[in-house]
C-alpha cells in the first residue's frame, strides 16, 4: 500500500531535523536563480558575449531544490568537477507503516552533457524502510527558461523469498520542477 502525505507534513518532518541541528531541506547551499544567472553571465574564454548569452540560456543546472508530481522534495548540492553530487530526499509516499524520514541521495551527472544534463542517483531508504530507489533522467529547460527533471525510477523492496522476487521491483516516472 502506498501512502501519500501532504507537503506541509513532509516539510514539518524536515523541520524536526532542523531543530535537532540538521539543516532544513532546500534552505542552505542552494543557488538562487539570480546567483545562477550571474555565474552563467561570466564570459568564457574565446566566446563573444552574444554566444555566451545563447549558451547560458539553454543550460539546465541540477543544483538546488526540486519538487515532483507526487509532492516529494529533494535538494541536490553542487555538482563536482567529476560529475558527482549528493543531497537529501524527502519522499511523500511510502508503503511502510514507519514514519517517513529524510534520506541521503548520491549521484552522478554525465560530464559531457552539461547543457541539458543526463544523470542518475540512488536513494537508500534504510532510515525507515528495507528498500532502495535508483533514478535516471535528464534535466531540461523549456523556452520559458523553466527547468524540469524528467526521471524514470526503479524501487527495489526486500523480498522474503526468491519466489517473491518478481514483485519486489516497481518501475515509475516522475517529473521534478525547481522550487523557487
Return per-residue pLDDT of the chain as tens, 180 residues: 334 334 343 444 343 343 334 444 454 444 444 444 444 444 444 444 443 333 344 678 899 999 999 999 999 999 999 999 999 999 888 776 777 789 999 999 998 766 788 999 999 988 778 889 999 999 998 888 899 999 999 999 888 887 778 889 999 999 999 998
**Distance in angstroms (rounded) separating the CA atoms of residues 107 and 104:** 10
Residue 16 DSSP label: H
Give phi and psi for 140, each to the nearest 5.
-120, 150
Structural contact between residues 79 and 121, judged by C-beta atoms closer than 8 angstroms: no
DSSP codes, 28-76: SSPPPHHHHHHHHHSPPTT--HHHHHHHHHH-----EEEEETTS-EEEE
**What residue has cell string 555538482?**
79
Three-state SS at 120: strand
Which domains, from first to last, does the chain contain? 3-178 (2.40.128.30)
**Distance in angstroms (rounded) separating the CA atoms of residues 10 and 4:** 10
Overall pTM surpassing 0.85 (yes/no):
no
Amino acid at each position: 500500500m502506498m501512502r501519500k502525505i501532504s507537503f506541509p507534513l513532509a516539510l514539518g518532518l524536515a523541520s524536526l531535523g532542523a531543530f535537532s541541528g540538521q539543516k532544513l531541506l532546500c534552505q542552505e547551499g542552494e543557488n538562487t536563480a539570480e546567483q545562477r544567472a550571474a555565474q552563467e553571465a561570466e564570459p568564457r574564454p574565446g566566446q563573444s558575449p552574444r554566444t555566451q548569452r545563447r549558451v547560458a540560456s539553454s543550460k539546465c543546472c541540477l543544483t538546488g531544490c526540486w519538487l515532483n508530481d507526487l509532492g516529494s522534495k529533494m535538494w541536490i548540492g553542487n555538482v563536482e568537477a567529476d560529475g558527482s553530487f549528493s543531497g537529501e530526499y524527502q519522499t511523500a509516499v511510502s508503503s511502510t507503516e514507519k514514519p517517513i524520514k529524510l534520506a541521503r541521495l548520491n549521484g552522478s551527472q554525465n560530464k559531457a552533457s552539461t547543457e541539458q544534463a543526463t544523470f542518475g542517483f540512488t536513494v537508500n531508504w534504510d532510515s525507515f524502510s528495507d528498500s532502495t530507489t535508483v533514478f535516471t533522467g535528464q534535466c531540461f529547460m523549456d523556452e520559458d527558461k523553466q527547468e524540469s527533471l524528467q526521471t524514470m525510477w526503479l524501487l527495489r523492496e526486500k523480498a522474503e523469498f526468491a519466489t517473491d522476487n518478481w514483485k519486489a521491483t516497481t518501475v515509475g516516472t516522475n517529473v521534478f520542477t525547481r522550487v523557487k
